[in-house]
Amino acid sequence: MDQEERFYEKMREKGVSRRDFMRYSAYLTAAMGLSSSFAPKVAEVFAAPKQRPPVIWLHFAECTGCTESAIKTSYPWIDELIFEVLSIEYHETIMAAAGHQAEKNLFDAVEKYEGKFICIAEGAIAVEHNGVYGKTAGKTHLEIAKSVIPNALATICLGTCAAYGGIQAAKPNPGGFKSVSEALGIKTLNIPGCPPDPVNLVGTIINYIFFGRLPDLDDIGRPLFAYGETVHDKCPRRSHYEDGEFVEEFGSEEAKLGYCLYKLGCKGPDTYSNCPLRGFNDTTNWCIGAGTPCKGCVEPNFWDTMTPFYKES
């Protein structure tokens, strides 16, 4: 049995048919802004990867919701993503090693893959008082970040905390928490969201494996394929009335009912994200679908600038 057949056999064991998997690949292809003719090739990246980029996955100050969100990606199951597509060399939440062994694994991996690994970072970094407000294994996050990240080929910030500081950096921010980019003075690729949609991480990684480069970014480091349009642009609740007549913009039942959440403080018009296209938890639902206004969690400083969340805009 070749590599591809083995992959599909494993997927079958998990109850995922080849057709289901192709459907997911087609979705991912569309989410990445590629024509549907690329879908079989995108599927091949999972089924028969030609290279497995080494990844070092760091956690700073955060709630771990970003990893929680990432491991809820069911197509492909995260173990497929981890073991078939990436070579995860270090990840504190899911690795078996602990204590000194874990620390050794981290620094061995940095040395072995110097200049070749992708660093995925979650959480903000405290810089006030030499970073004492955020520590792992007796080292400040600032020290860990400085010793790991400059050796990476590229750094992907997963979640708004790593990308822009998030809740840790909200006023008055006594710990001096900053984004990874600000704390180290480097450029990062940012996949914000509190938590982010895992499909945007998968799409970014597939883009890298597929084209050998990271996707095009907006001016605050976000992949344009995922963060190029506002939530409002594609919202199914979008509708308006003109001269007393209902004007249907997207044709959904919700829109027909006119249940736009703008007057409840929805920040969809100011928030750049593809949330309406797929939702979370494999299309189960998303904030606006569940009736809560968008609170702009992919935007820098949203805790300070988008609150109070439930006030009319």
Residues binding ligand SF4 (CB under 6 A)? 231-232, 235, 237-238, 260-262, 266, 268-269, 288, 294
Which of 53, 76, 175, 195 lies at the binding interface for ligand FSX (CB under 6 A)?
A: 195
Question: What residue ranges in 173-296 does DSSP mark as E strands?
Answer: 177-178, 189-191, 239-242, 245-248
CA distances from 227 to 129, 138, 177, 191 (A): 35, 37, 24, 9
Verify cis geometry, omega within 30 degrees of 0, for the bond prior to 76.
Answer: yes
Q: Catalytic annotation on 119?
A: no
Q: Select the binding partner of residue 134 from ligand SF4, ligand FSX, none (C-beta < 5 to 8 A, by kind).
A: none
Q: Provide the minimum distance between the beta carbon of 279 and ligand SF4 in the complex, in angstroms, as a whole number.
A: 13
How many residues lie near ligand FSX (CB under 6 A)?
14
Name the closest residue to ligand FSX (Cβ): 65
Of 198, 192, 219, 158, nearest to 301 by C-alpha is 192
Q: Catalytic annotation on 100?
A: no
Name the amino acid, one letter, at 135.
K
Q: Select the binding partner of residue 194 from ligand FSX, ligand SF4, none (C-beta < 5 to 8 A, by kind).
A: ligand FSX
C-alpha 5/C-alpha 11 separation (Å) is 10
Q: Provide the minimum distance between the beta carbon of 77 and ligand SF4 in the complex, in angstroms, as a whole number.
A: 31
- Please answer whether residues 61 and 177 qualify as being in contact, where contact means their C-beta atoms are separated by less than 8 angstroms: yes
Q: Catalytic annotation on 161?
A: yes
Give yes or no for residue 300 binding ligand FSX (CB under 6 A): no
- Residue 230's Cβ-count burial label (10 Å; 0-12, 13-18, 19+) is middle
Pair of tokens at residue 166? 């998030």
Q: Select the binding partner of residue 64 from ligand FSX, ligand SF4, none (C-beta < 5 to 8 A, by kind).
A: ligand FSX
Residues 116-175 that bind ligand FSX (CB under 6 A): 122-123, 159-161, 166-167
CA distances from 180 to 158, 162, 261 (A): 10, 6, 33
Looking at the Cβ atoms of 26 and 167, the one nearer to ligand FSX is 167
- Residue 111's Cβ-count burial label (10 Å; 0-12, 13-18, 19+) is exposed
Q: Provide the minimum distance between the beta carbon of 274 and ligand SF4 in the complex, in angstroms, as a whole number.
A: 13
Contact footprint for ligand FSX (CB under 6 A): 62-66, 122-123, 159-161, 166-167, 194-195
Any idea which residues carry the catalytic annotation? 63, 66, 161, 194, 232, 235, 260, 266, 275, 287, 294, 297
